[in-house]
Structure 1
């Protein structure tokens, strides 16, 4: 069976487009997850994973450009604390040091850029500080 050259070219173009579209991720395919949902009051180390939801694999080399920690879960959004990014303990895990000044609900807000993707991964993660 012979196809004309135009039909072959069109088939190849459509196949290429389908493969390219399937491989491209949407920024919503990425999410931050707390490693632990509790931390001790005082100087705390918080580990957060960035994962590709499609594969559940960790995402390394993201650039964290926004970070904030506050007590919004306990209706005290104005109660913030200092947060500092630390070296990563393993690929896809991002570590932060924060001073949790009181026990209760805390919210860690993060913004990051994933290499090769457009848009920003934004998350608000809630955890509990205990005495």
Structure 2
């Protein structure tokens, strides 16, 4: 009887350990992705990104984006940063921005966000190409 109880207890501990490692995400399980890799340049260019839970592939709504910057670092002009502002979302998990993308070339969108229920910050540096 004690032999089977030991096995049952061991199985319960193993099951609990497996559940606890897969049930909670870490901040590294989230990433921003560009909706479009090319953006039409202009004074009010729109840049859309999605926040993805990499474990499920699903978008994550209601993140709090507290840092945003757009610059030309991919073309060696990191100091060329332009104004950027958040726009209302059109669908859950999609985050939209309007920026002054003054010239064609390589641009970088840097974001910092908090995901509800998680500790830490999702930091992303997304490179896109501005086209005329």
Same fold (TM over 0.5): yes
1:3 — aligned with what?
A: 2
What's the offset of the Cα at 1:113? 0.8
1:83 — aligned with what?
A: 84
1:128 — aligned with what?
A: 129
What's the offset of the Cα at 1:62? 0.8
CA RMSD of aligned residues (A): 1.7
TM-score, length basis structure 1: 0.90
Specify every segment of 5 or more residues in structure 1 that has no aligned partner in the other structure, as ranges: none
Aligned residues: 130
1:97 — aligned with what?
A: 98
Specify every segment of 5 or more residues in structure 2 that has no aligned partner in the other structure, as ranges: none
Residues in 1 aligned to 2:45 and 2:11: alpha-carbon distance in whole angstroms: 57
Runs of 4+ in structure 1 off by over 2 angstroms are 6-18
Q: Does 1:46 align with 2:42?
A: no
1:24 — aligned with what?
A: 24
What's the offset of the Cα at 1:17? 3.2
